[in-house]
Structure 1
Amino acid sequence: MPNFETITKSLQNYAKNPTIKTPVGVFVGGTSGIGLNTAITFARVNAASEFPTKIYLVGRDSSKAIEAENLIKEVNASAVVNFLKHDMCYIEQAKRVANIVKNHESKLNLLFVGQGGFPSGGRSETEEGIDRKVAVCYYTRWQVVDDLVSLLAKAAEDGESARVITVLGAGREAKAETLDITDFEMKNNYSVMRILSDTPAYNTLAAQRFAREYPKVSFIHTSPGFVTTSVFRDTAWYLRPFLKFATWFFAVTPKVSGESHLYAGLTAAEYDHGAHMLNQKMDEVYTEAEKESNKGLFSVELQEALWKDTERVFNLAISRDASQ
Protein backbone atom coordinates (compact mmCIF):
# COMPACT_ATOMS: atom_id res chain seq x y z
CA MET A 1 0.00 0.00 0.00
CA PRO A 2 1.48 3.39 -0.94
CA ASN A 3 1.28 5.64 2.11
CA PHE A 4 0.67 9.34 1.69
CA GLU A 5 4.37 10.11 2.15
CA THR A 6 5.18 7.82 -0.79
CA ILE A 7 2.52 9.49 -2.90
CA THR A 8 3.71 12.98 -2.00
CA LYS A 9 7.34 12.12 -2.73
CA SER A 10 6.43 10.57 -6.07
CA LEU A 11 4.59 13.74 -7.11
CA GLN A 12 7.39 15.98 -5.82
CA ASN A 13 10.02 14.03 -7.75
CA TYR A 14 7.96 14.26 -10.92
CA ALA A 15 7.47 18.01 -10.45
CA LYS A 16 11.24 18.53 -10.41
CA ASN A 17 11.54 17.09 -13.91
CA PRO A 18 8.18 16.68 -15.72
CA THR A 19 8.41 14.16 -18.53
CA ILE A 20 5.53 15.57 -20.61
CA LYS A 21 6.35 18.64 -22.71
CA THR A 22 2.76 19.80 -23.15
CA PRO A 23 0.57 18.07 -20.57
CA VAL A 24 -3.13 17.81 -21.50
CA GLY A 25 -5.79 16.78 -19.01
CA VAL A 26 -9.57 16.58 -19.25
CA PHE A 27 -11.51 16.56 -15.99
CA VAL A 28 -15.22 15.74 -16.28
CA GLY A 29 -16.83 16.78 -13.03
CA GLY A 30 -13.72 18.91 -12.53
CA THR A 31 -15.07 22.12 -10.98
CA SER A 32 -15.26 20.77 -7.42
CA GLY A 33 -14.29 17.91 -5.14
CA ILE A 34 -11.93 15.15 -6.20
CA GLY A 35 -11.99 16.16 -9.86
CA LEU A 36 -10.93 19.74 -9.13
CA ASN A 37 -8.23 18.69 -6.68
CA THR A 38 -6.84 16.16 -9.14
CA ALA A 39 -6.77 18.92 -11.78
CA ILE A 40 -5.00 21.30 -9.38
CA THR A 41 -2.38 18.65 -8.61
CA PHE A 42 -1.99 17.89 -12.33
CA ALA A 43 -1.32 21.58 -12.95
CA ARG A 44 1.07 21.90 -10.01
CA VAL A 45 3.33 18.95 -10.81
CA ASN A 46 3.54 19.99 -14.46
CA ALA A 47 4.31 23.66 -13.76
CA ALA A 48 7.92 23.20 -14.93
CA SER A 49 6.96 21.51 -18.20
CA GLU A 50 8.47 22.93 -21.38
CA PHE A 51 5.11 24.25 -22.63
CA PRO A 52 1.98 25.38 -20.75
CA THR A 53 -0.23 22.76 -19.16
CA LYS A 54 -3.62 22.52 -20.86
CA ILE A 55 -6.64 21.68 -18.73
CA TYR A 56 -10.27 21.18 -19.70
CA LEU A 57 -12.81 21.39 -16.88
CA VAL A 58 -16.29 20.02 -17.61
CA GLY A 59 -19.23 21.00 -15.43
CA ARG A 60 -22.49 22.90 -15.22
CA ASP A 61 -21.65 25.83 -12.93
CA SER A 62 -19.78 28.79 -14.46
CA SER A 63 -19.13 30.42 -11.09
CA LYS A 64 -17.47 27.26 -9.79
CA ALA A 65 -15.40 27.14 -12.98
CA ILE A 66 -14.06 30.66 -12.34
CA GLU A 67 -13.07 29.67 -8.79
CA ALA A 68 -11.49 26.47 -10.10
CA GLU A 69 -9.43 28.34 -12.70
CA ASN A 70 -8.16 30.75 -10.04
CA LEU A 71 -7.05 27.85 -7.85
CA ILE A 72 -5.26 26.21 -10.77
CA LYS A 73 -3.53 29.49 -11.70
CA GLU A 74 -2.24 29.78 -8.13
CA VAL A 75 -0.11 26.66 -8.60
CA ASN A 76 0.63 27.03 -12.32
CA ALA A 77 0.37 30.59 -13.63
CA SER A 78 0.97 29.57 -17.26
CA ALA A 79 -1.73 26.86 -17.31
CA VAL A 80 -4.37 27.21 -20.01
CA VAL A 81 -7.76 26.41 -18.50
CA ASN A 82 -10.82 25.81 -20.66
CA PHE A 83 -14.26 25.46 -19.10
CA LEU A 84 -16.77 23.36 -21.03
CA LYS A 85 -20.26 23.97 -19.71
CA HIS A 86 -22.18 20.79 -20.40
CA ASP A 87 -24.73 18.59 -18.66
CA MET A 88 -23.27 15.11 -18.43
CA CYS A 89 -26.66 13.47 -18.02
CA TYR A 90 -26.79 13.47 -21.84
CA ILE A 91 -24.93 11.33 -24.37
CA GLU A 92 -25.16 14.18 -26.88
CA GLN A 93 -23.46 16.54 -24.41
CA ALA A 94 -20.73 13.99 -23.71
CA LYS A 95 -20.04 13.76 -27.44
CA ARG A 96 -19.87 17.55 -27.67
CA VAL A 97 -17.23 17.62 -24.95
CA ALA A 98 -15.15 15.03 -26.77
CA ASN A 99 -15.51 16.80 -30.11
CA ILE A 100 -14.31 20.10 -28.65
CA VAL A 101 -11.22 18.42 -27.20
CA LYS A 102 -10.52 16.55 -30.45
CA ASN A 103 -10.81 19.77 -32.43
CA HIS A 104 -8.12 21.41 -30.32
CA GLU A 105 -5.78 18.61 -29.24
CA SER A 106 -3.77 15.92 -31.00
CA LYS A 107 -3.14 13.88 -27.84
CA LEU A 108 -4.36 13.50 -24.26
CA ASN A 109 -2.47 12.44 -21.16
CA LEU A 110 -5.15 12.16 -18.49
CA LEU A 111 -8.90 11.72 -18.81
CA PHE A 112 -10.63 11.95 -15.43
CA VAL A 113 -14.35 11.14 -15.28
CA GLY A 114 -16.01 11.57 -11.91
CA GLN A 115 -19.32 13.29 -12.53
CA GLY A 116 -22.40 12.51 -10.47
CA GLY A 117 -23.36 12.31 -6.81
CA PHE A 118 -24.70 9.80 -4.33
CA PRO A 119 -27.85 8.32 -5.92
CA SER A 120 -31.24 8.78 -4.33
CA GLY A 121 -34.87 8.77 -5.41
CA GLY A 122 -36.57 6.88 -8.21
CA ARG A 123 -35.91 6.53 -11.89
CA SER A 124 -35.76 9.85 -13.75
CA GLU A 125 -35.20 9.65 -17.50
CA THR A 126 -33.72 12.34 -19.71
CA GLU A 127 -35.17 13.11 -23.14
CA GLU A 128 -32.68 10.54 -24.44
CA GLY A 129 -34.54 7.82 -22.51
CA ILE A 130 -31.73 7.10 -20.02
CA ASP A 131 -32.02 7.38 -16.26
CA ARG A 132 -29.98 10.37 -15.10
CA LYS A 133 -28.11 8.46 -12.40
CA VAL A 134 -27.22 5.54 -14.67
CA ALA A 135 -26.14 8.04 -17.32
CA VAL A 136 -23.68 9.96 -15.12
CA CYS A 137 -22.35 6.85 -13.38
CA TYR A 138 -21.74 4.90 -16.58
CA TYR A 139 -23.04 5.88 -20.00
CA THR A 140 -21.73 9.44 -20.43
CA ARG A 141 -18.41 8.52 -18.82
CA TRP A 142 -17.70 5.82 -21.34
CA GLN A 143 -19.05 7.82 -24.27
CA VAL A 144 -16.34 10.39 -23.50
CA VAL A 145 -13.74 7.64 -23.09
CA ASP A 146 -14.77 5.98 -26.35
CA ASP A 147 -14.56 9.27 -28.24
CA LEU A 148 -11.23 10.39 -26.74
CA VAL A 149 -9.35 7.11 -26.47
CA SER A 150 -7.62 7.74 -29.82
CA LEU A 151 -5.95 10.84 -28.31
CA LEU A 152 -4.81 8.81 -25.32
CA ALA A 153 -3.43 6.16 -27.65
CA LYS A 154 -1.48 8.86 -29.49
CA ALA A 155 0.12 10.05 -26.25
CA ALA A 156 1.04 6.46 -25.39
CA GLU A 157 2.60 5.97 -28.83
CA ASP A 158 4.73 9.05 -28.20
CA GLY A 159 6.01 7.54 -24.96
CA GLU A 160 3.92 9.80 -22.71
CA SER A 161 1.61 8.90 -19.86
CA ALA A 162 -1.90 8.07 -21.09
CA ARG A 163 -4.42 7.13 -18.45
CA VAL A 164 -8.16 7.15 -17.76
CA ILE A 165 -9.56 7.41 -14.24
CA THR A 166 -13.21 6.72 -13.50
CA VAL A 167 -14.13 7.39 -9.87
CA LEU A 168 -17.03 5.33 -8.59
CA GLY A 169 -16.96 2.08 -6.62
CA ALA A 170 -14.14 -0.32 -7.42
CA GLY A 171 -14.35 -3.25 -5.03
CA ARG A 172 -18.05 -2.90 -4.29
CA GLU A 173 -19.30 -4.08 -7.67
CA ALA A 174 -22.22 -6.45 -8.05
CA LYS A 175 -21.16 -10.02 -8.75
CA ALA A 176 -21.29 -10.92 -12.42
CA GLU A 177 -23.96 -13.57 -11.89
CA THR A 178 -26.36 -11.00 -10.39
CA LEU A 179 -26.19 -8.64 -13.37
CA ASP A 180 -29.27 -8.66 -15.57
CA ILE A 181 -27.81 -8.80 -19.08
CA THR A 182 -31.29 -8.22 -20.52
CA ASP A 183 -31.69 -4.97 -18.57
CA PHE A 184 -28.34 -3.17 -18.30
CA GLU A 185 -30.25 0.14 -18.47
CA MET A 186 -32.31 -0.81 -15.39
CA LYS A 187 -35.58 0.01 -17.12
CA ASN A 188 -37.43 -3.00 -15.72
CA ASN A 189 -35.91 -3.40 -12.27
CA TYR A 190 -34.71 -0.07 -10.94
CA SER A 191 -33.37 0.61 -7.46
CA VAL A 192 -30.77 2.72 -5.71
CA MET A 193 -29.04 -0.49 -4.63
CA ARG A 194 -28.66 -1.49 -8.29
CA ILE A 195 -27.14 1.90 -9.03
CA LEU A 196 -24.70 1.46 -6.15
CA SER A 197 -23.59 -2.03 -7.19
CA ASP A 198 -24.30 -2.51 -10.90
CA THR A 199 -22.83 0.74 -12.25
CA PRO A 200 -19.48 0.08 -10.53
CA ALA A 201 -19.56 -3.36 -12.18
CA TYR A 202 -20.18 -1.72 -15.55
CA ASN A 203 -17.16 0.55 -15.03
CA THR A 204 -14.94 -2.40 -14.15
CA LEU A 205 -16.18 -4.35 -17.16
CA ALA A 206 -15.61 -1.39 -19.47
CA ALA A 207 -12.13 -0.75 -18.08
CA GLN A 208 -11.20 -4.38 -18.80
CA ARG A 209 -12.66 -4.23 -22.30
CA PHE A 210 -10.85 -1.01 -23.25
CA ALA A 211 -7.57 -2.25 -21.76
CA ARG A 212 -7.71 -5.21 -24.15
CA GLU A 213 -8.42 -2.92 -27.09
CA TYR A 214 -5.77 -0.34 -26.15
CA PRO A 215 -2.97 -2.19 -24.31
CA LYS A 216 -0.67 0.85 -24.07
CA VAL A 217 -3.27 2.98 -22.29
CA SER A 218 -4.19 2.63 -18.62
CA PHE A 219 -7.84 2.36 -17.50
CA ILE A 220 -8.25 2.87 -13.77
CA HIS A 221 -11.46 2.48 -11.76
CA THR A 222 -11.21 3.80 -8.21
CA SER A 223 -13.27 3.85 -5.06
CA PRO A 224 -12.42 7.07 -3.19
CA GLY A 225 -14.01 6.07 0.11
CA PHE A 226 -15.38 8.93 2.20
CA VAL A 227 -14.14 12.32 1.04
CA THR A 228 -15.25 15.64 2.52
CA THR A 229 -17.07 16.85 -0.61
CA SER A 230 -20.69 17.76 -1.34
CA VAL A 231 -21.33 14.40 -3.03
CA PHE A 232 -23.97 13.45 -0.43
CA ARG A 233 -25.98 16.68 -0.68
CA ASP A 234 -28.91 15.03 -2.47
CA THR A 235 -29.20 11.93 -0.31
CA ALA A 236 -32.35 11.04 1.58
CA TRP A 237 -32.65 12.73 4.97
CA TYR A 238 -32.57 9.43 6.86
CA LEU A 239 -29.15 8.55 5.41
CA ARG A 240 -27.48 11.84 6.27
CA PRO A 241 -26.70 11.12 9.98
CA PHE A 242 -24.86 7.91 9.01
CA LEU A 243 -22.97 9.62 6.19
CA LYS A 244 -22.09 12.55 8.44
CA PHE A 245 -20.77 10.15 11.08
CA ALA A 246 -18.73 8.22 8.51
CA THR A 247 -17.34 11.46 7.10
CA TRP A 248 -16.22 12.66 10.53
CA PHE A 249 -14.34 9.47 11.35
CA PHE A 250 -13.21 8.04 8.03
CA ALA A 251 -13.08 10.81 5.44
CA VAL A 252 -10.02 12.31 3.80
CA THR A 253 -9.86 15.79 2.34
CA PRO A 254 -10.40 16.43 -1.38
CA LYS A 255 -6.76 17.60 -1.57
CA VAL A 256 -5.47 14.27 -0.24
CA SER A 257 -7.80 12.34 -2.53
CA GLY A 258 -6.79 14.48 -5.51
CA GLU A 259 -3.11 13.81 -4.91
CA SER A 260 -3.75 10.10 -4.50
CA HIS A 261 -5.71 10.03 -7.74
CA LEU A 262 -3.00 11.87 -9.64
CA TYR A 263 -0.43 9.45 -8.27
CA ALA A 264 -2.46 6.65 -9.86
CA GLY A 265 -3.17 8.75 -12.95
CA LEU A 266 0.35 9.95 -13.68
CA THR A 267 3.35 8.90 -11.59
CA ALA A 268 2.71 5.36 -10.32
CA ALA A 269 4.69 3.14 -12.69
CA GLU A 270 2.65 0.06 -11.80
CA TYR A 271 -0.46 1.63 -13.32
CA ASP A 272 1.02 2.82 -16.61
CA HIS A 273 -1.04 0.42 -18.74
CA GLY A 274 -3.75 -2.20 -18.41
CA ALA A 275 -6.89 -2.19 -16.26
CA HIS A 276 -6.71 -1.46 -12.55
CA MET A 277 -9.41 -1.43 -9.91
CA LEU A 278 -8.13 0.52 -6.90
CA ASN A 279 -9.54 1.10 -3.43
CA GLN A 280 -9.21 4.35 -1.45
CA LYS A 281 -5.68 3.37 -0.45
CA MET A 282 -4.73 3.03 -4.14
CA ASP A 283 -4.29 -0.71 -3.71
CA GLU A 284 -5.41 -3.21 -6.33
CA VAL A 285 -8.75 -4.72 -5.36
CA TYR A 286 -8.25 -7.84 -7.47
CA THR A 287 -5.26 -10.11 -7.99
CA GLU A 288 -3.66 -10.63 -11.38
CA ALA A 289 -4.91 -14.22 -11.31
CA GLU A 290 -8.49 -12.98 -10.90
CA LYS A 291 -8.08 -10.47 -13.71
CA GLU A 292 -6.68 -13.14 -16.03
CA SER A 293 -9.28 -15.76 -15.11
CA ASN A 294 -11.85 -14.86 -17.78
CA LYS A 295 -14.48 -15.40 -15.11
CA GLY A 296 -17.03 -13.14 -13.45
CA LEU A 297 -16.36 -9.47 -14.07
CA PHE A 298 -13.27 -10.50 -16.01
CA SER A 299 -15.23 -12.55 -18.53
CA VAL A 300 -14.54 -11.27 -22.03
CA GLU A 301 -17.97 -12.50 -23.09
CA LEU A 302 -19.69 -10.39 -20.39
CA GLN A 303 -17.54 -7.36 -21.22
CA GLU A 304 -18.51 -7.58 -24.87
CA ALA A 305 -22.19 -8.14 -24.05
CA LEU A 306 -22.25 -4.97 -21.97
CA TRP A 307 -20.41 -2.96 -24.61
CA LYS A 308 -22.66 -4.17 -27.44
CA ASP A 309 -25.69 -3.03 -25.45
CA THR A 310 -23.92 0.22 -24.51
CA GLU A 311 -23.39 1.07 -28.17
CA ARG A 312 -27.07 0.38 -28.78
CA VAL A 313 -27.97 2.86 -26.02
CA PHE A 314 -25.53 5.45 -27.45
CA ASN A 315 -27.01 5.16 -30.94
CA LEU A 316 -30.59 5.32 -29.69
CA ALA A 317 -29.85 8.40 -27.57
CA ILE A 318 -28.26 10.24 -30.49
CA SER A 319 -31.12 9.29 -32.81
CA ARG A 320 -33.60 10.71 -30.31
CA ASP A 321 -31.63 13.96 -30.12
CA ALA A 322 -31.54 14.21 -33.90
CA SER A 323 -35.30 13.71 -34.17
CA GLN A 324 -36.13 16.60 -31.82
Structure 2
Amino acid sequence: MATRALVVGGTGGIGYAIACRIAAESNSSTVIISGRNKPSEIRHANMEFRPLDASSMRSIKQYTDAYKSTPEKSLDLLVLTQGILTTAGRTETPEGIDRKMALHFYGRQLLIRELLPALKDDAKVIIVLDGLRGKSPTSLNWEDLDLKTHYGLPAAANHCISMTDAMIQAHAARQKEQNLGRRHFVHAYPGVVNTKIVECLPWYMRGPTRVLTGLLGVSPDVCAEHLCKGSYEAAAAGEKEGRFWSCIDDKGRLVPNKPVWSEEQIKKVEEHTWKVVDDALKTPAS
Protein backbone atom coordinates (compact mmCIF):
# COMPACT_ATOMS: atom_id res chain seq x y z
CA MET A 1 0.00 0.00 0.00
CA ALA A 2 1.37 3.41 -0.99
CA THR A 3 1.95 5.69 1.98
CA ARG A 4 2.91 9.35 2.15
CA ALA A 5 4.85 9.88 5.35
CA LEU A 6 6.77 12.69 7.01
CA VAL A 7 9.38 11.65 9.57
CA VAL A 8 10.84 14.51 11.60
CA GLY A 9 14.08 13.39 13.19
CA GLY A 10 14.25 10.92 10.33
CA THR A 11 17.86 11.65 9.41
CA GLY A 12 19.32 9.08 11.81
CA GLY A 13 18.64 6.44 14.44
CA ILE A 14 15.08 5.29 15.08
CA GLY A 15 13.52 7.90 12.79
CA TYR A 16 15.69 6.91 9.84
CA ALA A 17 14.91 3.23 10.45
CA ILE A 18 11.17 3.96 10.48
CA ALA A 19 11.48 6.01 7.28
CA CYS A 20 13.42 3.24 5.53
CA ARG A 21 10.90 0.62 6.63
CA ILE A 22 7.99 2.61 5.18
CA ALA A 23 9.88 3.36 1.96
CA ALA A 24 10.81 -0.32 1.48
CA GLU A 25 7.24 -1.56 1.86
CA SER A 26 6.12 0.03 -1.43
CA ASN A 27 7.95 1.73 -4.27
CA SER A 28 4.84 3.89 -4.67
CA SER A 29 5.25 5.37 -1.19
CA THR A 30 6.80 8.78 -0.59
CA VAL A 31 8.78 9.34 2.59
CA ILE A 32 10.04 12.78 3.56
CA ILE A 33 12.74 12.89 6.22
CA SER A 34 13.55 16.12 8.01
CA GLY A 35 16.21 17.25 10.43
CA ARG A 36 19.18 19.56 10.68
CA ASN A 37 21.58 17.65 8.43
CA LYS A 38 21.07 15.51 5.36
CA PRO A 39 22.11 11.87 5.91
CA SER A 40 25.24 10.71 4.12
CA GLU A 41 23.14 7.97 2.54
CA ILE A 42 19.49 7.99 1.53
CA ARG A 43 18.76 4.32 1.17
CA HIS A 44 15.67 4.37 -1.05
CA ALA A 45 14.76 6.31 -4.19
CA ASN A 46 11.33 7.19 -2.79
CA MET A 47 12.85 9.04 0.19
CA GLU A 48 13.61 12.74 0.12
CA PHE A 49 15.25 15.14 2.56
CA ARG A 50 13.92 18.53 3.63
CA PRO A 51 15.93 20.53 6.20
CA LEU A 52 14.35 21.61 9.47
CA ASP A 53 15.63 22.97 12.77
CA ALA A 54 13.02 21.30 14.95
CA SER A 55 14.15 23.19 18.07
CA SER A 56 12.88 26.50 16.60
CA MET A 57 9.16 27.24 16.64
CA ARG A 58 9.61 29.86 13.94
CA SER A 59 11.46 27.39 11.70
CA ILE A 60 8.73 24.81 12.26
CA LYS A 61 6.01 27.33 11.31
CA GLN A 62 7.87 28.32 8.15
CA TYR A 63 8.43 24.66 7.30
CA THR A 64 4.78 23.66 7.81
CA ASP A 65 3.47 26.69 5.90
CA ALA A 66 5.71 25.75 2.97
CA TYR A 67 4.66 22.11 3.17
CA LYS A 68 0.93 22.93 3.16
CA SER A 69 1.38 25.08 0.05
CA THR A 70 2.57 22.11 -2.03
CA PRO A 71 0.09 20.25 -4.30
CA GLU A 72 1.01 16.81 -2.93
CA LYS A 73 0.54 17.43 0.78
CA SER A 74 -1.92 14.84 2.15
CA LEU A 75 -0.18 12.70 4.75
CA ASP A 76 -1.01 9.15 5.82
CA LEU A 77 1.61 9.17 8.55
CA LEU A 78 3.38 11.78 10.67
CA VAL A 79 6.26 10.44 12.78
CA LEU A 80 8.05 12.64 15.34
CA THR A 81 11.33 11.31 16.69
CA GLN A 82 13.49 14.44 17.03
CA GLY A 83 15.42 14.76 20.25
CA ILE A 84 18.68 15.28 22.05
CA LEU A 85 20.64 13.34 24.65
CA THR A 86 22.33 15.81 26.96
CA THR A 87 23.52 16.15 30.55
CA ALA A 88 23.47 19.95 30.39
CA GLY A 89 21.12 22.01 32.51
CA ARG A 90 18.48 24.34 31.14
CA THR A 91 19.75 25.71 27.83
CA GLU A 92 17.37 28.19 26.24
CA THR A 93 16.86 28.66 22.53
CA PRO A 94 16.66 32.26 21.23
CA GLU A 95 12.87 31.85 21.62
CA GLY A 96 13.18 31.30 25.37
CA ILE A 97 12.40 27.55 25.50
CA ASP A 98 14.74 24.95 26.94
CA ARG A 99 16.29 23.19 23.92
CA LYS A 100 15.56 19.69 25.23
CA MET A 101 11.91 20.53 25.90
CA ALA A 102 11.62 22.35 22.55
CA LEU A 103 12.71 19.20 20.74
CA HIS A 104 10.96 16.62 22.89
CA PHE A 105 7.65 18.38 23.46
CA TYR A 106 6.81 21.89 22.27
CA GLY A 107 8.07 21.57 18.69
CA ARG A 108 6.34 18.24 18.26
CA GLN A 109 3.02 19.69 19.33
CA LEU A 110 3.41 22.64 16.97
CA LEU A 111 4.11 20.25 14.08
CA ILE A 112 0.92 18.34 14.87
CA ARG A 113 -1.17 21.50 15.15
CA GLU A 114 0.09 23.03 11.93
CA LEU A 115 -0.02 19.82 9.89
CA LEU A 116 -3.50 18.72 10.96
CA PRO A 117 -5.00 20.18 7.74
CA ALA A 118 -2.59 18.00 5.72
CA LEU A 119 -3.39 14.77 7.59
CA LYS A 120 -5.84 12.41 5.95
CA ASP A 121 -8.96 11.51 7.92
CA ASP A 122 -7.46 8.14 8.92
CA ALA A 123 -3.84 9.29 9.33
CA LYS A 124 -1.60 8.09 12.14
CA VAL A 125 0.58 10.38 14.27
CA ILE A 126 3.40 8.58 16.08
CA ILE A 127 5.33 10.45 18.78
CA VAL A 128 8.41 8.47 19.80
CA LEU A 129 9.34 9.44 23.36
CA ASP A 130 8.15 7.32 26.28
CA GLY A 131 4.57 6.13 26.19
CA LEU A 132 5.35 3.59 28.89
CA ARG A 133 6.42 5.61 31.91
CA GLY A 134 4.34 8.77 32.00
CA LYS A 135 3.70 9.67 35.62
CA SER A 136 0.58 10.85 37.39
CA PRO A 137 -0.53 14.43 36.66
CA THR A 138 0.11 15.18 40.34
CA SER A 139 3.86 14.73 39.67
CA LEU A 140 3.96 17.86 37.49
CA ASN A 141 4.91 21.30 38.73
CA TRP A 142 1.68 22.96 37.63
CA GLU A 143 2.96 26.45 38.41
CA ASP A 144 6.06 25.98 36.24
CA LEU A 145 5.21 23.50 33.47
CA ASP A 146 8.04 24.72 31.22
CA LEU A 147 10.43 24.58 34.20
CA LYS A 148 11.70 28.13 33.91
CA THR A 149 12.67 28.14 37.57
CA HIS A 150 12.55 24.48 38.66
CA TYR A 151 14.58 22.86 35.89
CA GLY A 152 16.35 19.53 36.29
CA LEU A 153 16.94 16.68 33.85
CA PRO A 154 14.55 14.25 35.61
CA ALA A 155 11.90 16.98 35.86
CA ALA A 156 12.32 17.91 32.18
CA ALA A 157 11.97 14.28 31.13
CA ASN A 158 8.90 13.77 33.32
CA HIS A 159 7.20 16.95 32.10
CA CYS A 160 7.83 16.17 28.40
CA ILE A 161 6.64 12.57 28.75
CA SER A 162 3.61 13.29 30.91
CA MET A 163 2.50 16.35 28.94
CA THR A 164 2.73 14.27 25.76
CA ASP A 165 0.30 11.81 27.35
CA ALA A 166 -2.05 14.72 28.02
CA MET A 167 -1.73 16.23 24.55
CA ILE A 168 -2.47 13.05 22.59
CA GLN A 169 -5.69 12.87 24.59
CA ALA A 170 -6.36 16.56 23.86
CA HIS A 171 -5.87 16.07 20.09
CA ALA A 172 -8.09 12.99 20.10
CA ALA A 173 -10.84 14.67 22.13
CA ARG A 174 -10.90 17.79 19.94
CA GLN A 175 -11.09 15.63 16.82
CA LYS A 176 -14.00 13.63 18.24
CA GLU A 177 -15.88 16.72 19.44
CA GLN A 178 -15.60 18.46 16.07
CA ASN A 179 -16.05 15.30 13.96
CA LEU A 180 -12.77 15.98 12.16
CA GLY A 181 -11.98 12.38 11.23
CA ARG A 182 -10.51 9.28 12.81
CA ARG A 183 -6.82 10.10 13.02
CA HIS A 184 -5.01 8.18 15.74
CA PHE A 185 -2.39 9.72 18.04
CA VAL A 186 0.21 7.32 19.42
CA HIS A 187 2.79 7.94 22.14
CA ALA A 188 5.45 5.25 21.70
CA TYR A 189 8.25 3.98 23.95
CA PRO A 190 11.25 2.80 21.89
CA GLY A 191 13.11 1.03 24.70
CA VAL A 192 16.88 0.66 24.60
CA VAL A 193 18.09 1.02 21.01
CA ASN A 194 21.62 0.83 19.59
CA THR A 195 22.02 4.22 17.91
CA LYS A 196 24.80 6.77 17.56
CA ILE A 197 23.04 9.17 19.92
CA VAL A 198 25.42 8.01 22.69
CA GLU A 199 28.12 10.06 20.93
CA CYS A 200 26.33 13.16 22.26
CA LEU A 201 27.25 12.19 25.82
CA PRO A 202 30.41 13.35 27.61
CA TRP A 203 33.37 11.13 26.71
CA TYR A 204 33.49 9.40 30.09
CA MET A 205 29.88 8.21 29.73
CA ARG A 206 30.11 6.88 26.17
CA GLY A 207 31.92 3.62 26.91
CA PRO A 208 29.59 2.37 29.68
CA THR A 209 26.55 3.46 27.66
CA ARG A 210 27.76 1.57 24.58
CA VAL A 211 28.22 -1.56 26.69
CA LEU A 212 24.75 -1.18 28.20
CA THR A 213 22.99 -0.61 24.89
CA GLY A 214 24.99 -3.46 23.34
CA LEU A 215 23.78 -5.86 26.02
CA LEU A 216 20.20 -4.67 26.38
CA GLY A 217 19.39 -2.83 23.19
CA VAL A 218 17.86 -3.77 19.86
CA SER A 219 18.75 -2.45 16.43
CA PRO A 220 16.93 0.59 15.04
CA ASP A 221 15.36 -1.68 12.40
CA VAL A 222 13.86 -3.99 15.03
CA CYS A 223 12.60 -0.99 16.99
CA ALA A 224 11.04 0.46 13.84
CA GLU A 225 9.27 -2.83 13.11
CA HIS A 226 7.78 -3.00 16.61
CA LEU A 227 6.64 0.62 16.70
CA CYS A 228 5.13 0.70 13.21
CA LYS A 229 3.26 -2.59 13.62
CA GLY A 230 2.15 -1.69 17.14
CA SER A 231 0.90 1.76 16.12
CA TYR A 232 -1.32 0.41 13.36
CA GLU A 233 -2.66 -2.36 15.59
CA ALA A 234 -3.37 0.13 18.40
CA ALA A 235 -5.17 2.44 15.97
CA ALA A 236 -7.37 -0.39 14.67
CA ALA A 237 -8.26 -1.54 18.18
CA GLY A 238 -8.83 2.01 19.39
CA GLU A 239 -11.20 2.87 16.56
CA LYS A 240 -13.43 -0.07 17.49
CA GLU A 241 -13.61 1.34 21.01
CA GLY A 242 -14.11 4.94 19.90
CA ARG A 243 -10.68 5.86 21.29
CA PHE A 244 -8.29 7.79 19.07
CA TRP A 245 -5.15 7.84 21.21
CA SER A 246 -2.86 5.08 22.46
CA CYS A 247 0.36 4.55 24.39
CA ILE A 248 2.51 1.61 23.29
CA ASP A 249 5.64 -0.04 24.69
CA ASP A 250 8.86 -1.10 22.95
CA LYS A 251 7.22 -4.30 21.64
CA GLY A 252 4.32 -2.33 20.17
CA ARG A 253 1.91 -3.50 22.84
CA LEU A 254 -0.79 -1.25 24.26
CA VAL A 255 0.25 0.09 27.69
CA PRO A 256 -2.46 -0.67 30.26
CA ASN A 257 -3.37 1.30 33.37
CA LYS A 258 -2.05 4.67 32.24
CA PRO A 259 -2.50 7.49 34.79
CA VAL A 260 -5.93 9.09 34.55
CA TRP A 261 -6.07 12.74 33.49
CA SER A 262 -9.09 14.90 34.20
CA GLU A 263 -10.53 17.14 31.49
CA GLU A 264 -9.38 20.15 33.51
CA GLN A 265 -5.79 18.88 33.71
CA ILE A 266 -5.67 18.13 29.99
CA LYS A 267 -7.07 21.59 29.24
CA LYS A 268 -4.40 23.23 31.42
CA VAL A 269 -1.59 21.41 29.60
CA GLU A 270 -3.12 22.29 26.24
CA GLU A 271 -3.49 25.98 27.10
CA HIS A 272 0.04 26.11 28.52
CA THR A 273 1.49 24.43 25.43
CA TRP A 274 -0.07 26.84 22.96
CA LYS A 275 0.85 29.85 25.08
CA VAL A 276 4.54 28.84 25.14
CA VAL A 277 4.53 28.02 21.43
CA ASP A 278 2.68 31.15 20.34
CA ASP A 279 4.80 33.40 22.55
CA ALA A 280 7.89 31.87 20.94
CA LEU A 281 6.48 32.57 17.48
CA LYS A 282 6.10 36.24 18.47
CA THR A 283 9.74 36.51 19.57
CA PRO A 284 11.62 38.92 17.26
CA ALA A 285 13.97 37.16 14.87
CA SER A 286 17.59 37.40 16.00
Q: Which among 163, 169, 182 is matched to residue 208 of structure 1?
A: 169
Counterpart of 1:67 in structure 2: which amino acid?
A: E
Provide the alpha-carbon RMSD of the alignment: 2.0
Q: Which among 143, 153, 156 is matched to residue 182 of structure 1?
A: 143
TM-score norm. by structure 2 comes to: 0.89
CA-CA distance at 1:245 after TM superposition: 3.2
Q: 1:211, 1:218 within 8 Å by CA — same for their partners in 2? A: yes
What residue is the counterpart of 1:25 in the other structure?
5
Structure-to-structure mapping, 1:33-72, within 5 angstroms:
33-47=13-27, 52-62=28-38, 64=39, 66-68=40-42, 71-72=43-44
TM-score norm. by structure 1 comes to: 0.79
Is 1:165 the counterpart of 2:165? The answer is no
- Percent identity at matched positions? 26
SS at match of 1:164: strand
CA-CA distance at 1:266 after TM superposition: 4.3
Q: Which among 246, 260, 270 is matched to residue 307 of structure 1?
A: 270
Q: What is the distance in 2 between the residues matched to 1:119 and 1:212?
A: 34
SS at match of 2:74: coil
SS at match of 1:233: helix
Is 1:109 the counterpart of 2:76? The answer is yes
CA 1:119–1:302 in structure 2 vs 1: closer, same or farther (change >3 Å)? Answer: farther
What residue is the counterpart of 2:212 in the other structure?
246
Unaligned runs of 5+ in 1: 1-17, 74-78, 291-295
SS at match of 1:232: helix
Counterpart of 1:283 in structure 2: which amino acid?
A: R
CA 1:85–1:297 in structure 2 vs 1: closer, same or farther (change >3 Å)? Answer: farther
Structure-to-structure mapping, 1:124-203, within 5 angstroms:
124-152=91-119, 155-156=120-121, 161-203=122-164
What residue is the counterpart of 2:222 in the other structure?
256
What residue is the counterpart of 2:56 in the other structure?
90
CA-CA distance at 1:201 after TM superposition: 0.6
Unaligned runs of 5+ in 2: 177-181
